[in-house]
Amino acid sequence: VSLSDVSAPASALSLRGIQHTFAANKVVKGIDLDIAPGEVVCLLGPSGCGKTTLLRIAAGLEVVQEGSVSLDGLSIAAPGKRHVPPEKRNVGLAFQDSALFPHLSVLENVTFGLKNLPSSQRRERALELLAQLGMADYAESYPHMLSGGQQQRVALARALAPTPKLMLLDEPFSSLDARLRDRIRDDTLHVLKKLGSATLLVTHDPEEAMFMADRIALMRDGEIVQTGTPRELYCAPVDPFVVTFFGEVNELSGVVKCGFVATPVGPVDASWLPEGSNVQVMIRPEALRIKERDLPVESHSHSHVVMAKLLGRSSLIHLCAHGEDGQEAHLHARVPGVFLPQEGQPIDIDLDHSQVFIFPR
Ligand code: ATP
């Protein structure tokens, strides 16, 4: 045993070389993923990319066809060898459509998983979790008396109550309306961090992933495209898919000349790419900083506002930008707060280069 083996705590969950096929349809194509104790990892990706299948494999709800699953350094599932069933994995599960036991009250549903605790403590523990998720007043209600969102919160409380070392959550906030969702996310994250449960959370919502995750694993078509902190994925995306997954983006084409790509909003550094390469330039709407100008449209400032819309917390400006060499582009800019320049208003544009990304075509 080397020193590094001793000092590094085993991963709470370790997936190695996971592949999965449904009737000749390969939906998971070789995934490695580790979750450290206490870490919240979000599995993010578009519908159908294999997130739920991977989570079900980790939970033991799907048999491992290829690869292996370990919990706390112990192998618990590998093809043809071992398959520890879900209920023996000390894992908390909550799914989008988690069914509660219909004949048990909310309180009984949550105490159900607490068989290891003395009965005097079960009630206390369940009520504590229900209170943290805003459901204390419903302890004596039955599932059919609750809304979908309330049932989802009870399912979360039930999964969290036994303080599992690993929580597996599949779209656990999907039935909540937007306002309630923010609060329950916040409360859930608080509970997870307090319990120190390692968590794998499936979502297709980038904002939810950024809020909940210590690390995000972004999937596309059965593979992980990029793993990193929310900041790493947002500010250092490895390919165009990662950029577009986090929101609308302006896309332009260009060619590298003297280490730069000329765009209608100014040159962008591309010195790491070969001279003459064709590139895709991706400019986030918030990268375009607009300054109004006191000049008539006929002056040499060609860039102008086409349309401005207030969206609430920000304003969306549709603009037409003209570069020095006659290039023209229609772009969307996003400006915080209320900013509604007139149609035709001449403008200057400053580029925040940290939100501009260049990829070879
Ligand atoms: P969503 O966000 O829509 O839930 P997902 O990323 O979780 O999607 P999965 O549910 O893992 O995706 O599904 C991945 C692919 O596997 C899909 O094409 C789906 O149709 C297919 N699939 C999932 N479960 C089964 C099954 N039991 N039998 C056959 N195909 C399945």
Q: For the beta carbon of residue 289, count every other beta carbon within 10 angstroms.
A: 14
As a whole number of angstroms, the distance between CA 28 and CA 49 comes to 8
Q: Name the fold adopted by 248-360.
A: OB fold (Dihydrolipoamide Acetyltransferase, E2P) (2.40.50)
**Which residues are within 8 A (CB) of 192 and not within 5 positions of it... i.e. 6 or more apart?**
40, 160, 167, 199
Residue 1: predicted pLDDT: 45
CB 184 within 8 A of CB 147: no
DSSP structural state of residue 274: P
Residues in the chain: 361
Task: Please name the residue whose Cα sits nearest to atom 17 of ligand 1.
Answer: 48
CB 57 within 8 A of CB 18: yes
Residue 20: predicted pLDDT: 96
CA of 52 to the centre of ligand 1 (A): 7
DSSP string, 314-354: EEEEEEEEE-TTS-EEEEEEEEES---PPTT-BEEEEE-GG
Task: Please name the residue whose Cα sits nearest to atom 18 of ligand 1.
Answer: 48
Q: What distance lies between CA 269 and its chain's CA centroid?
A: 29
Q: Is the CB of 53 under 6 A from ligand 1?
A: yes
Task: Please name the residue whose Cα sits nearest to atom 27 of ligand 1.
Answer: 22
Domain boundaries of the chain, sorted by first residue: 3-90+164-242, 248-360
Q: For the beta carbon of residue 350, count every other beta carbon within 10 angstroms.
A: 12
Nearest ligand 1 atom to the CA of 53 is 11
CB 231 within 8 A of CB 62: no
Residue 149: predicted pLDDT: 84
CA of 40 to the centre of ligand 1 (A): 23
CATH number of 3-90+164-242: 3.40.50.300
Sign for the CA dihedral angle at 339, 344, 350, 355 comes to positive
Task: Please name the residue whose Cα sits nearest to atom 19 of ligand 1.
Answer: 48
DSSP structural state of residue 81: T
Q: Is the CB of 204 under 6 A from ligand 1?
A: yes
Q: Is the CB of 50 under 6 A from ligand 1?
A: yes
Residue 242: predicted pLDDT: 98
As a whole number of angstroms, the distance between CA 48 and CA 66 comes to 20
Task: Please name the residue whose Cα sits nearest to atom 10 of ligand 1.
Answer: 52
Q: Is the CB of 52 under 6 A from ligand 1?
A: yes
Q: Is the CB of 51 under 6 A from ligand 1?
A: yes
Q: For the beta carbon of residue 38, count every other beta carbon within 10 angstroms.
A: 16
DSSP string, 8-49: SPPPSEEEEEEEEEETTEEEEEEEEEEE-TT-EEEEE--TTS
As a whole number of angstroms, the distance between CA 50 and CA 217 comes to 12
Task: Please name the residue whose Cα sits nearest to atom 30 of ligand 1.
Answer: 22
As a whole number of angstroms, the distance between CA 19 and CA 75 comes to 16
Which residue shows structure tokens 């577009």? 244
Smallest Cα–Cα separation from 34: which of 80, 84, 82, 68?
68
Q: Is 282 exposed, middle or buried (0-12, 13-18, 19+ CB in 10 A)?
A: buried
As a whole number of angstroms, the distance between CA 230 and CA 213 comes to 7
Task: Extract the tokens encoding 252.
Answer: 């332009």
CB 351 within 8 A of CB 287: yes
Residue 301: predicted pLDDT: 53
136-141-142-143 Cα dihedral, nearest 10 degrees: -40
Per-residue pLDDT of the chain (361 residues; tens, 9 = 90+): 455 555 567 899 999 999 999 999 999 999 999 999 999 999 999 999 999 999 999 999 999 999 999 999 888 888 877 678 887 888 999 887 778 999 999 999 999 888 878 888 899 999 999 998 889 999 999 999 998 888 989 999 999 998 888 999 999 888 788 888 898 899 899 999 998 999 999 999 999 999 999 999 999 999 999 999 999 999 999 999 999 999 999 999 999 999 999 999 999 999 999 999 999 999 999 999 998 777 654 545 578 999 999 999 999 999 999 877 778 899 999 999 999 999 999 998 989 999 999 999 9
As a whole number of angstroms, the distance between CA 59 and CA 73 comes to 16
Residue 5: predicted pLDDT: 52
